[in-house]
A = this chain, B = another copy of it.
């Protein structure tokens, strides 16, 4: 039976309610609900919340206020990792109701002596304690990650192209100097020889072809072994601690598939798909074939399933033990949702700092479901979004990611490129295209990343119909000249420094777009949780032409009144905008956009 007061549509939450919403430590989390009752009495409401394992801890309390249309909200701030639970409580505020009625009657010249007697009878207002109709919602959960789950600049590199772990260790200071937080390595395990892929994804690899790192497993070992060419376990641990000393973290690839030479193929044939001719099925998506990879059968009979899933968890436990807690998960959409729903919370229970980035380049509902069942972050469709408006627009997409129902549990990680994807204006594109795509990724999403070579404008696609790179690093070792004088590194460094200086850019749900009268010029702002930092980014989406626009700023979103003082953190120039509209002109040859630090009339 319903309580006296209705408490509906509580957010944040996941669609089915079976999984927690998410947040990070120190994040201002807006909790909201529809709250109403019959009649005209005034209500009061609050959030009670606490870490879910702190049953003996006092509840924290945040009073809620009406935001309109029977919607109430409050901001809570989780202060440590782990599961939080919260409830919404509402009650009739009899004091406020009587006082309002007295005021209305006085204004109409009506007697109020009975109301005053009622008020006296009520005694002191003890809030929910003296409420006669206190109604409490069911309990909701929020999983609280460390801040890196939401905020970070990622850099992907193939350690074999940098001379293994030792060579990579030597490159780390340069990566750290560019301002990256996470260095993500494709699989570091032994690579199969059977059906190994040669250069440019060809069959019949030569003896010198290193093979794809995703063809995991050889006689040297499987997912808990290290490719001998990269170094030893000690070398790897040195790399991990080297990164730590530079304020960075190493992220590993978690790719649950096996080369035909993986030890599991002989030790656990029951974990694979067997075909009528006696062979084990390799991966294929007809007519495409991936002969160097055997997919695992994640749903064999009960006991085998338990054993396989446990073995998959053992891999993570092993690398967590080696000091790695960030995993980029390869093709999670080809494994059952039930597997992730079991695995990720099991890991988080022991390692609440673990982070899982889903490489879920798949259909929208599948991508969202992976986030719902536990993934910390997801690659998104950013790579293919280049316009501002419309169904395929960046603005439309950001509104969905930051303000739609998914924002309660899915976090984007925007990548302009990956080893698999060279897309849009980057194909045959010049420095202007590389600058604006980086500005967009880093300015729109608190987490973003690039695959190395981006700073050298690598832009040659495998073919006009193929989204991969020509001479893909997945199948060969690359030598690059990091010291090229025209490198994008200084621009990347500037962007990452701005991101670190401005807490406003460390949040997702705070994004607000501003009207621009030119579709090619997109403007958005972010305001920090405490309101003290406001950044306005203006980007020219067209890397081939200078564009100009008048911006019409949403002052309520900025939380400011004109005149506005804006300092472009890229150029150092400061402007004063007397009103809420502003003219901008951006020539992509010189600058992809502005990143304005904005101060209002009442700024010190």
Contact = CB atoms under 8 A, between A and B. Distances in A.
Interface string A351-371: 000000000000111100100
A479 interface: no
Contacts of A299: 4, 133
A36 interface: yes
Interface string A488-515: 0000000000000000000000000000
Interface string A519-534: 0000000000000000
Interface stretch (A54-62, A99-107, A321-329, A411-419): A99-107
A38 B70 contact: no
14 contacts: A3-B338, A4-B336, A4-B338, A36-B365, A36-B369, A38-B334, A38-B366, A39-B334, A40-B285, A101-B286, A104-B286, A104-B287, A110-B287, A118-B275
Given A69-B363, A105-B286, A108-B287, 11 more contacts: A8-B15, A8-B16, A36-B366, A36-B369, A38-B335, A69-B365, A70-B366, A101-B286, A104-B287, A105-B287, A117-B277
Interface residues of A, number: 53
Interface string A2-19: 111010110000011000
A603 interface: no
What are the 7 A-B residue pairs with the smallest beta carbon separation, nearest first? A108-B287, A117-B276, A104-B286, A2-B338, A101-B286, A70-B365, A39-B334
B336 A37 contact: yes
Nearest to A339: B38
A342 B4 contact: no
A333 interface: yes
Nearest to A275: B114
Most-contacted residue by chain B among A4, A38, A279 (CB, 10 A): A38
Interface string A127-169: 0000001000000000000000000000000000000000000
Nearest to A373: B2
Interface of A: 1-4, 6, 8-9, 15-16, 34, 36-40, 69-70, 100-101, 104-105, 107-108, 110, 113-114, 117-118, 121, 133, 275-277, 279, 285-287, 298-299, 333-338, 341-342, 363-366, 369, 373
A34 B100 CA distance: 48
A279 B113 CA distance: 13
Nearest to A9: B15
Contacts of A38: 298, 333-337, 366
A108 B285 CA distance: 12
Contacts of A105: 286-287
Interface centre among A6, A277, A298 (most CB of B within 10 A): A6
Contacts of A118: 275-276
Contacts of A9: 15
Nearest to A70: B365
A117 B9 CA distance: 52
A284 to B, nearest CB: 8
A105 B285 CA distance: 10
A45 to B, nearest CB: 14
A16 B69 CA distance: 19
